Every structure is written in structure tokens, then in C-alpha cells.
Amino acid sequence: MSSQKLFSAFFLQVILATLVFGVANVQCLKLGFYKKTCPAAEDIVRKTTAQYISKAPTLAAPLLRMHFHDCFVRGCDGSVLLNSTKNNQAEKDAIPNLSLRGFHVIDAAKSAVEKKCPGVVSCADILALVARDAVSMINGPYWKVPTGRRDGKVSVALEALINLPPPFANITQLKSMFHSKGLSVKDLAILSGGHTIGISHCSSFANRLYNFTGKGDTDPSMDPNYVIQLKKKCRPGDVTTIVEMDPGSFKTFDGDYYTMVAKRRGLFQSDAALLDDVQTRKYVKLHSFSHGKSFGKDFAASMVKMGKVGVLTGKAGGIRKYCAFVNK
């Protein structure tokens, strides 16, 4: 079964899955949640993140994506960090998450915090903080992260397939998936801008180059000159080559992504889909002309909003000692 057919089969379950797992419980989140119980927590996380980003700035993109993928499945509960077990395939091993990198950064930050304050700071909060710090360290925006999330104890690969927007999603599917998480159409347009520091394997968009409708054709919504360029990099069946989503500035967080999309040079169908809705198209056009003038501020606001999706707080969930394992 193709990934498109698999997505279609499960798409109607998105709303149901959200009703079960995605109800936000944000009243216990607040700035400085660990001020009394672990006052050095955020500083420790920031310093640990800096140690890795200073040596490998390209880690910022997968760390940001990891936070996004965490929040869209069961809410921002750190479930994406859990390892699979003998009896369960976890989110981490679902197809959309196989390209995630940077788990070692989260583990390092958690280890450093545990040494200072054992059993206090959740992996979910650490992931939210690391994502923020990594983005800010590559000239991206900085936002204040409300903390107080608790860690989930369940991670199911199938739920990642159901809840994560695939690269071939159309605008109707994207709007529905974001709406199911309490995120607006504007949030969709803004958070898609995270692709400004993204990279992709050729296999994620190869159908747009070689077999868009099953007849050996290309996607007519993509700039034909760009198709020619991409075909030189991505041969049929190529599953290893990596392409920059924002060529020339993929290591820097800026608004150039919108210029690429406006020129019909977005890599994914989900990028191109932003031109198929009045509101998202307006946002793309605005920042393609203004070079992302207010994008940083907008992105920060939408990240705070996304970081509150389906959180566990109070006595729900727990505080994992190791982010990859449920406490014994």
C-alpha cells in the first residue's frame, strides 16, 4: 500500500485520535515553573544545547521538527522520545520519524538537569526548551517557553502515521489536521516556515518529479525549471540524496522559504499547498515581498501556542528519569 493510500485510510481517524489524546490542559503551564524546584534548569538546557549547536548547527532543524512531531501526536508529552519495546513499536520508529536526529542532545540535556535536580524536570519540557534554544542559536527568534509539562507513558507508531501531516498532504487535509490540534490556518502558514532550515531526502518528493499522477509525469504546480534542477540531483529511486528546502540559507532561520514557495519551488506538495488557500497564500505572498519582516515574531507566537497542545500537567503522566524509557 502506498503512503498516500495509507494516509487516506487513516485520515478520518485524526479527529477521533485528537478527541482521545489531544485535549489541551494548559492551566498548569507557566513561565518559570521550575523557579523554586530547579532554578538552574533552563540555563543548564541552554548551555547543553549550545555545546551541540555550536559544533553542528544543522541539528537545529531536526530538533525543531522533533518538538513539532511530539506535539502533534498525543500532545507535547515527550512520547516521540520513547524507544520501541519488544511488544510495541514507538512513534520514534514510525516512517515519518525515521529521519529525526538529535535525540542525543535531549538525552544530554536531561542527564545534566538530572544531576542537579533529580526527578523534577520533564523530558517534554526539555524538548520544548531545546527546540527554542536551537532555533535562537542560528539567528532565529527567541520565545519564552511556559513549562510544567509532564511526560507521557505511551508511544505508538501508528498514531504518528495518523496525526503527522505528510509531505503529500493537500491544503484541505493540512487545515483539518492543524484545526484538530487547536491551531489556526495562520498557524499552519507560519509553522510551515520552519522548513526554512529544513532538508529532505529525494524520496519525499520524487513523485512530483517523475510520477505525479501515475503516468510518469511531473507535478504541474512546481516550477518546471526547478523540476529540471531537482532531477539532476534526484534520480529515480534515489533514497539517499539530501536536498535543501531553502537553498542557500538552510542553515539560517529566515523568511526565504516563502520566496521559494511563492516561486512554486517548495519541495513538498504540502509546501505548494499553501498557495491553494486564500489565507495561507496571502501570508506566503506577504513574506516573499517583505523578506520575512514579521515572520520571526509570528513564528515565536505560534510555537508557544503549539507547545501547549495536549499537554499533561498536574498529576497526569510523570517525570521520566531517562527520556527514552518509561520509569520502572
Bridge partners for 242 per DSSP? 201
Is 179 annotated to bind a ligand? Reply is no
Is 80 annotated to bind a ligand? Reply is no
Is 136 annotated to bind a ligand? Reply is no
Cβ pair 229, 208 in contact under 8 A: no
Amino acid identity for residue 225 in this structure: N
Active-site residue flag, 104: no
Is 79 annotated to bind a ligand? Reply is yes
Is 298 annotated to bind a ligand? Reply is no
Cα separation, 201 vs 53, in Å, equals 22
Catalytic residue, from 67, 69, 179, 291: name it.
Answer: 69
Is 195 annotated to bind a ligand? Reply is yes
Is 192 annotated to bind a ligand? Reply is no
Cell triple for 54: 555550536
Is 91 annotated to bind a ligand? Reply is yes
Is 214 annotated to bind a ligand? Reply is no
Cα separation, 248 vs 290, in Å, equals 18
Is 219 annotated to bind a ligand? Reply is no
Q: Which residues contact 3 (CB under 8 A, 6 or more apart)?
A: 95, 166, 168
Cβ pair 181, 174 in contact under 8 A: no
CA proximity to 127, closest of 181, 88, 91: 91
Is 196 annotated to bind a ligand? Reply is yes
Cα separation, 74 vs 79, in Å, equals 7
Alpha carbon dihedral 192, 249, 224, 268, in 10-degree steps, equals -30
What residue numbers does the annotated binding site for heme b cover?
195
User: Residues comprising the binding site for substrate?
Assistant: 165
Binding-site positions read: 70, 73, 75, 77, 79, 91, 165, 195-196, 246, 254
The catalytic residues are 69
